Structure 1
Amino acid sequence: MKFLRTALGSAAVSHPAIDLQTSFTAAAQAAGLIKAGQQFDPFANENNFLLGAFIFEDVGVTAYKGAAPLITNKTYLEAAAGILAVEAYHAGTIRSALFTKGLATPANAISKARDSLDGPTDLDQSISRDGSMVNVTPTDANGIAFSRSPGQVLNVVYLTPKKATKGGFFPAGVNGDVKTSAGR
């Protein structure tokens, strides 16, 4: 984060308020990992941590990929490309670990829940296609990572398929020029 804020300089916006307790619980409930009234703590154990990380890492990859055409400043583009690469490494590692630990079913449920939020098209890809093969790198038919628009990303992090300006992980919304999710 410090690297990105340094690269952005005076263009960096203030940090938005983030909710890591209620939001992870809501995301886990939406995916069917827990029932209403239960809590999901992504820091409770290694499995929860990997499942919590899975909620975000794929979204980060698709967010940076989707934002790339919008970045005209070469310095910002280079910084974003570097972050995209790291996010992709993290996502692949998390997908592999989840599969190896026998957590494909809950991870696939998270993928399905994310897909229900980001619009009418079927973008998100589970970590296993038939239960026996791992999908480490979700790509399109050309072997290229797929993109989410800023609005689609906000739908996922706001935890709603509707047009919104706040919610989920960002109860007061995000800062900057793009604050409204795409909605369906």
Structure 2
Amino acid sequence: MTDDSLIMDALDARVTRRNDRREFFKTMAGAGKIVGGLAAGAVAVQAEAQTAVTDADILNFALNLEYLEAQFYSFAAFGTGLSASLLTGTGTQGAVTGGRQVTFTDNVVAQYAREIAADEIAHVAFLRTALASAAVAQPAIDIGATPNGAFSSAARAAGLIGPGASFDPYASDENFLLGAYIFEDVGVTAYKGASPLLTSATFLDAAAGILAVEAYHAAIVRTTLYAKGIQTPSLITATESISTARDSLDGSTDLDQGVAAINGASNIVPLDANGLAYSRSAGQVLNIVYLNRAAVGSGGFFPAGVNGTIRTSAAN
């Protein structure tokens, strides 16, 4: 049996009961409370507003996330990382651990990977230009496939692999999609949570534009996983497990959603009961990328933390 087959066979069969989540949203809405993503968005606005962050702080926080996504997709699609000219800036510049080109067997997935990689590289260049001399340098990033690396730790937290095993997002089309799934939904919620905090109309317009692109990316990944999951149900189960793991990190509210069908329909677009995408605060986003529900300054995909003033995860 191949390593890829072992990874897929190890995908845990713990599918979160999606109808219970939707009933939770309905109950909260009926009680006249702000629910789901609206609640998270309100928390994001209140918490960040109290710290008086600037537009540059917010864009630099976003730039850290774009460095992570751009490096992952660039290696997976092209076999190389970002050019040195896109890595400099304020703060400590770090290296990338891991990353290699995927030998795609599905040409459609390969084309998606190249498209998303080009978009993410463009986001890095755009944000660096917008921030000019205030742009932060790329921090140290872990996108490797070692047993103790960030991808393996995330997969282990989701129950996809056992103790001491590794998850390699470059080993197959399916593993690549699951690796991408870890990032894309988080990026969408990060931009939605941060957008209300921007004071510049120009920056707000730019953030809205990037948010839309990230949402398109997330939809590509979720749709492809759902389609492949019709023949390989463990892929759909894996999205549910990853979703549950993310929810265990970013607080007590059950926000995250996999792609499993609800009431006979696919769940490509994760929404609250009002049909709105949900948000995460910067602290919640850092909980996920640091792979830690406590208030910490580093870990997971950012071994030395992110650069900039927004760098501590929330205490959950």
Specify the TM-score bucket, using the shorter chain as the normaliser.
over 0.9
1:34 equivalent to 2:161? Answer yes
Residue 89 of structure 1 aligns to a residue in which SS?
helix
Per-residue CA deviation, residues 67-117 of structure 1 (Å, 9 max, x unaligned), is 001111222222211111111001111111111111110111001101110
Please give the alpha-carbon distance, in whole angstroms, between the structure 2 residues aligned to 1:76 and 1:169.
26
Aligned residue number for residue 260 of structure 2: 128
| Structure 1 position 133, deviation (Å) | 3.1
Unpaired segments ≥5 residues, structure 2: 1-123, 230-234
Aligned residue number for residue 98 of structure 2: none
Aligned residue number for residue 114 of structure 1: 246
Please give the alpha-carbon distance, in whole angstroms, between the structure 2 residues aligned to 1:69 and 1:144.
15
Aligned CA-pair RMSD: 1.3
- After TM superposition, the score normalised by the length of structure 2 is 0.56
Please give the alpha-carbon distance, in whole angstroms, between the structure 2 residues aligned to 1:4 and 1:131.
41
Larger displacement relative to structure 2 (35-44 or 2-11)? 2-11
Q: Quick one: percent identity of the two aligned structures?
A: 62
Unpaired segments ≥5 residues, structure 1: none
Matches within 5 A, 1:1-184: 1-21=124-144, 22-102=149-229, 103-130=235-262, 133-184=265-316
Please give the alpha-carbon distance, in whole angstroms, between the structure 1 residues aligned to 2:141 and 2:203.
24
Count of residues in correspondence between the two structures: 184
Per-residue CA deviation, residues 1-49 of structure 1 (Å, 9 max, x unaligned), is 1112112223321111110121001001111111111111111110000
Which structure would you say has the larger Rg? 2
Change (3 A) 1:131 1:55: farther
Please give the alpha-carbon distance, in whole angstroms, between the structure 2 residues aligned to 1:61 and 1:48.
21
Letter in 2 for 1:39: S
In 2, are the aligned partners of 1:7 and 1:75 still within 8 Å (CA)? Answer: no
Please give the alpha-carbon distance, in whole angstroms, between the structure 2 residues aligned to 1:141 and 1:182.
25
Bigger fraction of residues in helix: 2
Residue 142 of structure 2 aligns to a residue in which SS?
coil
In 2, are the aligned partners of 1:4 and 1:79 still within 8 Å (CA)? Answer: no
Letter in 1 for 2:185: D
- After TM superposition, the score normalised by the length of structure 1 is 0.95
In 2, are the aligned partners of 1:104 and 1:131 still within 8 Å (CA)? Answer: no
